[in-house]
Structure formats: C-alpha cells, structure tokens
C-alpha cells in the first residue's frame, strides 16, 4: 500500500461499527482491555488457566531480556489440550474437521476420531525411537494426517518443523539438517490443480546425499502415484498405524518445552528457525483465536485457509482452534479447481461462520468475479478475517459487501511467525472498523512506534513498529543461533522487540501498517528474502551479480523483480529472453515456485553508491515504473539509463 493512499484514508476515515446484536452476543467486551491494563501478567495468567495444566504454575513471567520464560514451573501437554480434554468433557462427537480433497472426496473427523488417530501416531513415533526433545520434519499437504502429525509430536514432546510442500529438495534438506530431524513425515503425492503432485520424490532427493540423521520416512498414502521405496528408511503410515497400540497417556511437559521450529526468511540468505515453546504459545494462540474471531465452539464453523507449512496454519488451523474445541473446514488443493465455485460451495455446505484468508486471495476472488460467491448461500458468515499483508480498502469493501453481506465485521490481523499469535487486530464486538487499519494492540500486548533513536514518533508520523513488553507466544530464540536472535530483534532497541515493519498511529489511536522496512519481501502474504533469491541467482553458473527487490503488484501485494549481470562468456550464449526465462526457472527449482521472480532483467550494470552498496531504492523505482529518486549518491549515473534501455 502506498503512503499517499494511507494519507487520504487517514483523513477521510470511514468507520463501521458492529451491529447491536453482534456486540450483545460477543464473547469479549472492553473489560479485557481494562483488565490487561490493570495487571498484564495476571491477565495472561488467567488466560493460561483456561487451559488444562498437568501441574499449575506459580510464576507467570521470568524476563531476562531478550529471553522470556512464561509459566515456567507449570506442566502442560499441548495435544491433551487440543484433543483428550474435549473428549473427556463429553464433546468427542463434535466435528473437528470437515475435510475435502480436491477431487471432491470428503471426510468428517470428530474430536474422538482425531484423538484416537493421534494416540496411535504418537505410539508409531515412539516405536521409531523418537524421544522427547527429538525433532521431526513434516512435509505434508493439507490432509488431516498433517494435523495429526503435528499433534502426535506435541503429545510426546518431539519438536516438529513443518516444511511447506512447495519448497525444493534443497530447502527441505536445509531445514532437516538445521533442525537435525530424526524422522520425516510425508506422503506419496497429493491433488493440486486437477493433477497428482508427487511429494515423496522431493524427500528422496533431499535425503540422497549422506550426512543427515533421518532414520525413518513415514509415508501417508494419498496421491496413489508410483514412488520409489527405500526399505531401510521408508514406512507406510497405514501399515505402522495398523500395528500401533491404540492407547497413549499424555504427560505434562515443562511450559517452556520446545513445541515447534518454523523456518522463515530473514534479511540474509539463510532462513531462520523460529522456536516456539508450549504453555505461553498455546495460551495466546487459544485466547486470540477466541477473542479475535468471537468463537463460540458449540455453534461456530471456522475456516482458516492457510497451509500448515506457514505459521497461520500452526496457530489458527491446529493449535488455537483445536485448543478451543472448534469445528473447522479444511481443503486439499486450490480454490479454482474444479471450478471457482469451490470455496463458496464449501461455505454453504458446512455453514461456515468465520472465514480467515489472505488479501491476495481476496484480490483473486475479486478478479474472477462476484458471480461465483453469489452462486452460493453465504448467509452463515458472521466474521471475516485477513492476515499476511496490508489489505487495500477496495479489497476490504469487496470482502465485506460480497462475502460478508455488508455486515460481517472484518478483523485485519497483524502478526508474524515470530510473534506466534495475533498482536494487533480489531475485536469484532467492540471495534469500529476502519478499512486499511489493523486498529489497535490486543489486550495484554504493548506496541510502540519509535524513530531510529528509540523515541516514540508523534501521531500520524511513520516509524518502526516495536513490541515493548514480552508476550506469551513470542519466539524464544532462533534455533541454534541465539546470537542472530539478539542481533535481529533486540540490538536495535534493547528490551523492545523490533518487528521489521513500519507503522503509523493516527490521532484516534488506530495503527496503520506500512510494510517491511528491511530487505524482506511479502509476496502473496509469504515472506521472502531478497538475499536468499540473490544468492540463488548467483548460484547459477551464468550469473555474475544479482540484485532483487520487491515491487508493488496488484495481485500479489509485492512481486519479486531481479536485475542480473551475466558473466561475459555467457552473454553471447543465449538471447536476453532465454536468459531471463532460464533464471526464473532456476530460482523456482532452487527455492520453490513461490520465489520465482515475476521478472528478471538482464542488465549491463547495477546502480551502486561510491562505497559499492547496491541502491535498491532506485531499482524499486525502476521496477515499479516510477520517476527515479535522488541519484546524487550514485557512483556512475549512466548506469540507470543503461538499465532503463534494457527494460524497454
């Protein structure tokens, strides 16, 4: 979103209040803000005690900046909270998931079913020698076994690391190595865009080279495609499950026991393994899910469209909703297969009441046309949510009018892989909504917008978004690299967490997110690092130098645009078009399709300062077709002209 448009939006604010009926029935009212302001730690302790603790805690927070321990002397089992607890309360027959495969096959899984599945799977993992503290990599599509795998790990205290199914073998291997995974859980293949997409071969390639410590690959049968089989490693999920003991008793784990590692892009080439632990994470995931989406578990049907390979799939498909005993919808494959009617027919079929998706998806629904949603009965919807990037007001209005019947509150939720759970968001029964603003910090969360010197910026001015007190679901460190944890998030402002986003606060206290201030791009709500793609490009034999920027893109928010200088001996060996196509393909196979540049420009030179630093700002201007900014610090001003020629 451009700053200019934010200016005009801030000036002519349109506000949308909740209907009286919604406000009356909402779970959370203003008292939560007051309660949290009065005693923040007591507020969180109360939220924590809404969960089941095997042993209660006596200490809420131990804060030795930048390291926090929440509820540390308590014992909790995350899977027990998401499963057994509901069955024991008499809700075993409640549907946990209405699941639909892309070809149209359907499964209904109750809390009792999922509990039984996870108990068996916990026993399978134990029989493979997975112990508390070991790591398990999960490389699965959106099938119920993915949820079961995460919960089975949590149940026995194994730390999972899920890897998005679109990532390449190299990326999968990097994560397996960094986490030192003992077991990988995958499937033969799955359905996507009307075809079977093979997954197991990626694991085979990833594990080809020795040097890893993977002892077993557990393979779910889904795509029924032919796969290679390695008797030393591979085990069919259904065989192992048939042989497994059905009973498993969940033990309490230390509140700070590592629950999962999730890799995300940073400003350097190497993804960071964000570590989340158990008690604090589950407390905030469960509370925010309930409060932000106004979840009444007896009646609501929640559909978060995120993949479990991303943090949103962790916190708002698995842990938050399941801790709250929520009925959910889950789907394999894409929204336009077999037809773009699919999501709306599913909302009608299951009576979805709360729908949570990304602005990029909303923009693609807009593009395809309102006749598709209008072909289904969406009257069950009462709350809409968005996440991952700023939502442009046009998309906001469309979402509200076409999907939300002009009345459903939209919760624009700001958070990060690192924060573990939602931090800034409206509360749907209270907040007067302003399209384009994520409104205010949730109860118990302290946000400050600072300048470079660490001083609060005046109202209306842009600054750096920081979180000024520790929060329960915060990351605890970067796996295996505490120094990088300190440097990335804390060195700038001491005991205040630096989020990497720019933000403004207006006179009414509404927060407006302004996008990343570092070299991290946001493509379709997914985080990509310029450095990671640059290092992939220079890894290609023909590339001498590369610079990557995120350029504004109508469909995807930002798009990857690369500028590449070829090595001299390659400059003649293919045409410019061939070279550009080759490099786009190279990045897609090296990192994954999501990183494929929208454009690669082969250029004679890159704009640099006299000290040799690439001026990305200029490249961004060029990529977005803007007047280029100040060039006085350029070492050689003719470079820009030469690039412009090439881009014509």
| CB closer to ligand PRX, 164 vs 350 | 164
**Which residue is it, tokens 């645009």?**
561
Stretch that binds ligand PRX, among 145-153, 201-209, 214-222, 381-389 (CB under 6 A): 381-389
| CB closer to ligand PRX, 244 vs 473 | 473
Q: From 188, 166, 290, select the one nearest 238 (Cα to Cα).
A: 188
Name every residue whose Cβ is closer than 8 Å to that of residue 333 and which is 6 or more positions away in sequence: 101, 102, 142, 190, 191, 192, 193
Q: From its phi and psi, is residue 91 left (phi > 0), alpha (psi between -120 and 50) or beta? A: alpha
| Binding to ligand PRX in span 427-486, by CB under 6 A | 438
| CB closer to ligand PRX, 302 vs 414 | 414
Q: Among residues 255, 323, 467, 513, which is the contact residue for ligand PRX, using CB under 6 A? A: 513
| Position 312 contacts ligand PRX (CB under 6 A) | yes
| Position 32 contacts ligand PRX (CB under 6 A) | no
| Position 553 contacts ligand PRX (CB under 6 A) | no
- In the bound state, the residue with its beta carbon closest to ligand PRX is 417
Backbone angles phi, psi at 419, to 5 degrees: -80, -20
| Position 519 contacts ligand PRX (CB under 6 A) | no
Number of residues that bind ligand PRX (CB under 6 A): 21
Distance (Å) of CA 506 to CA 292, 503, 551: 22, 10, 26
Q: Among residues 516, 584, 608, 620, which is the contact residue for ligand PRX, using CB under 6 A? A: 516
| CB closer to ligand PRX, 191 vs 522 | 522
**Which residue is it, tokens 């068996």?**
120
| Position 500 contacts ligand PRX (CB under 6 A) | yes
Distance (Å) of CA 212 to CA 61, 182, 215: 37, 9, 9
CB 615 → ligand PRX: shortest distance, Å? 22
| CB closer to ligand PRX, 151 vs 274 | 274
**CA 139 from chain center: how many Å?**
15
Stretch that binds ligand PRX, among 68-76, 172-180, 368-376, 384-392 (CB under 6 A): 384-392
Stretch that binds ligand PRX, among 237-245, 412-420, 428-436, 446-454 (CB under 6 A): 412-420
As a three-state string, the secondary structure of 512-552 is: EEEEECCCEEEECCEEEEHHHHHHHHHCCCCEEEEEEEEEE
CB 282 → ligand PRX: shortest distance, Å? 17
| CB closer to ligand PRX, 126 vs 560 | 560
| Position 527 contacts ligand PRX (CB under 6 A) | yes
| Position 264 contacts ligand PRX (CB under 6 A) | yes
Stretch that binds ligand PRX, among 8-16, 94-102, 364-372, 493-501 (CB under 6 A): 493-501
DSSP category for residue 620: H
CB 112 → ligand PRX: shortest distance, Å? 31
CB atoms within 10 A of CB 573: 11
The Cα 559–Cα 552 span in angstroms is 6
Q: Among residues 328, 357, 417, 488, which is the contact residue for ligand PRX, using CB under 6 A? A: 417
| CB closer to ligand PRX, 87 vs 424 | 424
Angle between helices 530-538 and 576-590 (to 10 degrees): 120
| CB closer to ligand PRX, 134 vs 439 | 439
Q: Which tokens sit at 622?
A: 């060029």
Distance (Å) of CA 380 to CA 170, 244, 359: 43, 41, 21
The Cα 149–Cα 333 span in angstroms is 19
Under 8 Å between Cβ of 586 and 562: no
The Cα 360–Cα 556 span in angstroms is 5
| Position 529 contacts ligand PRX (CB under 6 A) | no
Beta pairing class for 520-523 and 526-529: antiparallel
| Position 390 contacts ligand PRX (CB under 6 A) | yes
Q: Is the peptide bond before 506 cis (omega within 30 degrees of 0)?
A: no
Stretch that binds ligand PRX, among 113-121, 144-152, 495-503, 565-573 (CB under 6 A): 495-503
The Cα 11–Cα 508 span in angstroms is 11
Q: From 604, 606, 598, 600, select the one nearest 580 (Cα to Cα).
A: 600
Q: Among residues 387, 395, 403, 511, which is the contact residue for ligand PRX, using CB under 6 A? A: 387
Q: From 547, 523, 522, select the one nearest 603 (Cα to Cα).
A: 547
Q: Which tokens sit at 99?
A: 């699941």
Q: Among residues 188, 234, 332, 389, which is the contact residue for ligand PRX, using CB under 6 A? A: 389
Q: Among residues 415, 479, 489, 563, which is the contact residue for ligand PRX, using CB under 6 A? A: 415
| Position 304 contacts ligand PRX (CB under 6 A) | no
Residue 356, H or E segment: strand 354-357
| CB closer to ligand PRX, 225 vs 267 | 267
Stretch that binds ligand PRX, among 122-130, 166-174, 406-414, 539-547 (CB under 6 A): 406-414
CB 416 → ligand PRX: shortest distance, Å? 4
Contact residues: ligand PRX, CB under 6 A: 264, 311-312, 387-390, 412-417, 438, 499-501, 513, 516, 522, 527
């Amino acid at each position: 979103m451009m700053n200019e448009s934010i200016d005009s939006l801030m000036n002519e604010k349109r506000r949308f209040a909740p209907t009286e009926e919604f406000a009356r029935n909402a779970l959370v009212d203003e008292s939560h803000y007051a309660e949290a302001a009065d005693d923040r730690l007591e507020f969180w302790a109360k939220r924590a005690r809404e969960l089941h603790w095997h042993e209660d805690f006596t200490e809420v927070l131990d804060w030795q900046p930048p390291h926090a321990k929440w509820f540390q002397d308590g014992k909790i089992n995350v899977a027990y909270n998401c499963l057994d607890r509901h069955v024991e309360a008499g809700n075993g027959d409640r549907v946990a998931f209405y699941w639909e495969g892309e070809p149209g096959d359907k499964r209904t899984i109750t809390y009792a079913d999922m509990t039984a599945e996870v108990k068996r799977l916990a026993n399978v993992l134990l029989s493979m020698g997975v112990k508390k503290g070991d790591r398990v990599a999960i490389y699965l599509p959106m099938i119920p076994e993915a949820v079961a795998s995460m919960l089975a790990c949590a149940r026995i205290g194994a730390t999972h690391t899920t890897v998005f199914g679109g990532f390449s073998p190299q990326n999968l291997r990097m994560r397996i190595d960094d986490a030192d995974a003992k077991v990988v859980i995958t499937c033969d293949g799955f359905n996507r865009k009307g075809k079977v997409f093979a997954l197991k071969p990626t694991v085979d390639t990833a594990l080809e080279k020795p040097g890893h410590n993977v002892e077993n690959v557990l393979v779910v049968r889904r795509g029924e495609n032919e796969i290679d089989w390695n008797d030393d490693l591979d085990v069919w999920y259904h065989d192992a499950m048939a042989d497994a003991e059905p009973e498993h008793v969940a033990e309490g784990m230390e509140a700070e026991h590592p629950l999962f590692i999730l890799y995300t892009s940073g400003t350097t080439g190497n993804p960071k393994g964000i570590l989340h632990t158990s008690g604090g994470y589950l407390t905030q995931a469960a509370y925010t899910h309930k409060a932000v989406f106004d979840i009444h578990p007896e009646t609501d049907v929640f559909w978060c469209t995120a993949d479990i390979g991303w943090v949103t799939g962790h916190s708002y498909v698995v842990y938050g909703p399941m801790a709250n005993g929520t009925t959910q919808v889950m789907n394999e494959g894409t929204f336009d297969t077999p037809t773009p009617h699919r999501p709306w027919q599913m909302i009608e079929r299951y009576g979805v009441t709360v729908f949570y998706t990304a602005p990029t998806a909303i923009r693609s629904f807009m593009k395809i046309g309102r006749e598709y949603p209008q072909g289904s009965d969406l009257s069950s919807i009462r709350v809409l949510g968005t996440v991952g990037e700023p939502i442009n007001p046009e998309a906001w209005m469309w979402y509200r009018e076409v999907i939300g019947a002009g009345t459903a509150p939209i919760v624009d939720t700001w958070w990060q892989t690192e924060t573990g759970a939602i931090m800034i968001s409206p509360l749907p029964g209270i907040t007067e909504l302003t399209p384009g603003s994520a409104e205010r910090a949730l109860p118990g969360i302290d946000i400050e917008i600072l300048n470079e010197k660490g001083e609060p910026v005046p109202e209306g001015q842009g600054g750096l978004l920081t979180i000024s007190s520790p929060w329960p679901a915060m990351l605890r460190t970067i796996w295996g690299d505490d120094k990088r944890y300190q440097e990335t998030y804390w060195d700038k402002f001491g005991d205040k967490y630096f989020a990497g986003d720019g933000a403004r606060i207006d006179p009414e206290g509404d927060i407006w997110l302004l996008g990343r201030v570092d070299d991290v791009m946001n493509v379709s709500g997914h985080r990509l690092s310029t450095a990671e793609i640059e290092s992939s490009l220079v890894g290609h034999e023909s590339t001498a130098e590369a610079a990557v920027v995120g350029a504004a893109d109508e469909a995807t928010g930002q798009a990857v645009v690369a500028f590449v200088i070829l090595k001299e001996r390659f400059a003649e060996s293919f045409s410019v078009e061939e070279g550009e196509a080759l490099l786009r393909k190279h990045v897609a196979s090296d990192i994954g399709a999501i990183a494929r540049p929208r454009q690669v420009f082969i250029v004679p030179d890159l704009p640099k300062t006299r000290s040799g630093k690439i001026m990305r700002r200029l490249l961004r201007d060029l990529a977005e077709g803007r007047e280029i900014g100040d060039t006085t610090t350029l070492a050689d001003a003719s470079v820009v002209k030469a690039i412009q020629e090439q881009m014509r």
